[in-house]
């Protein structure tokens, strides 16, 4: 090995050991008050914390934890958040896990490090709490692909269909739906319905994936996508498989049909943590979802290798909205109690019915 390569290798080993000093339990809850893994060497360069900024990040993290304790706040973070944001959170999870946590929490304040529809769902499920989204720039283009008017129009065209709406949607759209689902329970949600005719909104790829698994239902699928997942093509995945022929392919069901067809495991982001454990013989995993997931995968499985399905960490499988929140935004959110999420009562009631109906159904993955 060349000297500079062996030095880089040693540095990587050291960094991954440091990061592996996990402050997180395998169920996503916080294990201790430490914040030892704020700097994740596997994050792409534009987002990776520089060595010289580590002290500032540690100070911010300590202030965040102090403020959270003082204000009886809980910090929830999605699996796609920056590593340092995941590290300061009380719970890290997928959309379903986060909804359940938000509904159950006894905290006075929920700081939601994710995107707008997630914080909105938290408010709907736990209306007595103050729910804060640290950045109002954290939207979701998939959620924006369907409005209440477009759903009304669609329902009018299919009057005898029931509406299953992915949680990546606005409160208004949820209120007009019969039941919600997430990527972790979509198949079970559709199977749980007594009706045969279904409108599935707004994600086309998830809808088509469910359709294949539940052929006994007649499912009409809306034409929305998550651009982050939809951009991934099977040609890129095949190229990666050529480079890592023994790798196991993990794909999120928001990926296109041709990508999902190549996958060994199709599951929600949290489902991917269990999926790795199902392949103890595998050394390498090709990951077809947003790169933020790599942080917990690396921490949970430090001896495994995770490579992005597009072969390019941080360029294409990158959700800009999920990266709007960093430690300064979380601290400001707690300090100034911004930005508070409100949902009009009539809309919240309808959306809560759809969300609660979903939460009564078991998880698929
Ligand atoms: P999950 O949180 O269900 O894994 O889905 C990820 C996602 O795409 C969120 O928008």
Cβ neighbors of 107 (< 8 A, separation 6 or more) are 72, 73, 74, 129
Domain extent at residue 190: 142-226+344-359
Residues 203 and 349 grouped into a single domain: yes
Domain-located, residue 314? no
Domain-located, residue 291? yes
Residues 292 and 180 grouped into a single domain: no
Residues 155 and 118 grouped into a single domain: no
CA of 296 to the centre of ligand 1 (A): 15
Domain-located, residue 242? yes
Best mutation site among 119, 121, 183, 322 for ligand 1, i.e. most ligand atoms within 8 A of its Cβ?
Answer: 183
Looking at residue 177, its pLDDT comes to 98
Looking at residue 32, its pLDDT comes to 59
Residues 129 and 149 grouped into a single domain: no
Domain-located, residue 40? yes
Cβ of 254 closer than 6 Å to ligand 1, yes or no, is: yes
- Which residues in 238-362 belong to E strands, given as ranges? 248-251, 265-266, 284-288, 305-308
Residues 81 and 179 grouped into a single domain: no
Residue 29 C-beta-side C-alpha neighbours within 13 Å: 6
DSSP state letters, 178-205: SEEE-TTTHHHHHHH-S-SEEEEESBHH
CA of 299 to the centre of ligand 1 (A): 20
Q: What share of the chain is helix, strand, coil (3-state, %, to 5)?
A: 45, 15, 40
Backbone CA torsion sign across 26, 29, 32, 37: positive
Atom of ligand 1 nearest to the CA of 271: 4
Cβ neighbors of 28 (< 8 A, separation 6 or more) are 91, 92, 93, 97, 270
- Which residues in 79-229 belong to E strands, given as ranges? 91-93, 109-113, 130-132, 162-166, 179-181, 197-201, 218-221
Domain-located, residue 267? yes
Residues 353 and 208 grouped into a single domain: yes
Residues 25 and 111 grouped into a single domain: yes
Q: Which two tokens stand for residue 9?
A: 């290798």
Residues 222 and 232 grouped into a single domain: no
Contact 284, 297 (CB under 8 A): no
CATH number at residue 187: 3.40.50.10800
Best mutation site among 143, 165, 168, 206 for ligand 1, i.e. most ligand atoms within 8 A of its Cβ?
Answer: 168
Atom of ligand 1 nearest to the CA of 183: 3
Cβ of 35 closer than 6 Å to ligand 1, yes or no, is: no
Cβ of 317 closer than 6 Å to ligand 1, yes or no, is: no
Domain-located, residue 202? yes
Atom of ligand 1 nearest to the CA of 184: 3
Q: What is the 8-class DSSP label of residue 31? A: -
Contact 355, 124 (CB under 8 A): yes
Looking at residue 29, its pLDDT comes to 82
Residues 286 and 250 grouped into a single domain: yes
Q: Along the 365 residues of the chain, how does pLDDT read in single tens digits?
A: 333 334 433 343 333 333 333 467 778 887 754 455 899 999 998 999 999 999 999 999 999 999 999 999 999 999 999 999 999 999 999 999 999 999 999 999 999 999 999 999 999 999 999 999 999 999 999 999 999 999 999 999 999 999 999 999 999 999 999 999 999 999 999 999 999 999 999 999 999 999 999 999 999 999 999 999 999 999 999 999 999 999 999 999 999 999 999 999 999 999 999 999 999 999 999 999 999 999 999 999 999 999 999 998 667 899 999 999 999 999 999 999 999 999 999 999 999 999 999 999 999 87
Looking at residue 10, its pLDDT comes to 39
Cα 124 from Cα 134, distance rounded (Å): 18
Cβ of 297 closer than 6 Å to ligand 1, yes or no, is: no
Domain-located, residue 332? yes
Residues 132 and 24 grouped into a single domain: yes
Residues 109 and 93 grouped into a single domain: yes
CA of 314 to the centre of ligand 1 (A): 17
Is residue 193 exposed (0-12), middle (13-18) or buried (19+ Cβ within 10 Å)?
middle
Atom of ligand 1 nearest to the CA of 78: 2
Cα 110 from Cα 281, distance rounded (Å): 40
Domain-located, residue 365? no
Number of domain units in the chain: 3
Q: What is the 8-class DSSP label of residue 68? A: H
Contact 313, 289 (CB under 8 A): no
Residue closest via CA to ligand 1's atom 9 equals: 95
CA of 166 to the centre of ligand 1 (A): 10
Cβ of 205 closer than 6 Å to ligand 1, yes or no, is: no
Cβ of 94 closer than 6 Å to ligand 1, yes or no, is: yes
Residues 210 and 352 grouped into a single domain: yes
Angle formed at CA 5 by CA 236 and CA 281, multiple of 5 degrees: 55
Count other Cβ atoms within 10 Å, centred on residue 81. 27
What pTM was computed for the model?
0.92
Cβ of 99 closer than 6 Å to ligand 1, yes or no, is: no
């Amino acid at each position: 090995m060349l000297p500079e390569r062996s030095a880089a290798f040693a540095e990587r080993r050291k960094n991954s050991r440091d990061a592996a000093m996990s402050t997180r339990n395998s169920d996503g809850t916080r294990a201790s008050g430490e914040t030892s893994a704020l700097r994740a060497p596997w994050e792409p360069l534009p987002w990776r914390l520089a060595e010289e900024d580590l002290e500032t990040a540690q100070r911010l993290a300590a202030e965040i934890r102090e403020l959270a304790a003082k204000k009886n706040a809980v910090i929830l973070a999605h699996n796609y958040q920056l590593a340092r944001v995941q590290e300061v959170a009380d719970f890290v999870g997928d959309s379903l896990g986060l909804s359940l946590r938000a509904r159950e929490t006894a905290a006075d304040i929920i700081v939601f490090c994710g995107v707008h529809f997630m914080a909105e769902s938290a408010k709907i499920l736990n209306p007595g709490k103050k729910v804060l989204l640290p950045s109002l720039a954290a939207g979701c283009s998939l959620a924006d692909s369907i409005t209440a008017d477009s759903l009304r129009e669609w329902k009018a065209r299919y009057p005898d269909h029931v509406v299953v709406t992915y949680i990546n949607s606005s409160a208004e759209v949820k209120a007009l739906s019969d039941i919600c689902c997430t990527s972790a329970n979509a198949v079970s949600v559709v199977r749980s319905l007594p009706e045969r005719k279904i409108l599935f909104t707004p994600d086309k790829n998830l809808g088509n994936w469910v359709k294949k698994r539940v052929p006994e239902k007649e499912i009409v699928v809306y034409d929305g996508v998550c651009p982050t997942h939809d951009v991934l093509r099977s040609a890129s995945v095949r190229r990666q498989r050529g480079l890592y022929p023994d790798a196991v392919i993990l794909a999120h069901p928001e990926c296109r049909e041709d990508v999902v067809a190549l996958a060994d495991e199709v599951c929600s982001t949290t489902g991917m943590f269990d999926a790795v454990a199902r392949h103890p013989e595998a050394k390498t995993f090709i990951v077809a979802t947003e790169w933020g997931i790599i942080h917990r995968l690396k921490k949970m499985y430090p001896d495994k290798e995770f490579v992005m399905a597009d072969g390019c960490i941080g360029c294409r499988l990158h959700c800009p909205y999920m990266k709007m929140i960093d430690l300064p935004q979380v601290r400001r959110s707690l300090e100034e109690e911004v930005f508070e999420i409100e949902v009009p009562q009539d809309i919240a009631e309808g959306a809560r019915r759809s969300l609660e109906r979903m939460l009564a159904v078991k998880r698929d993955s």
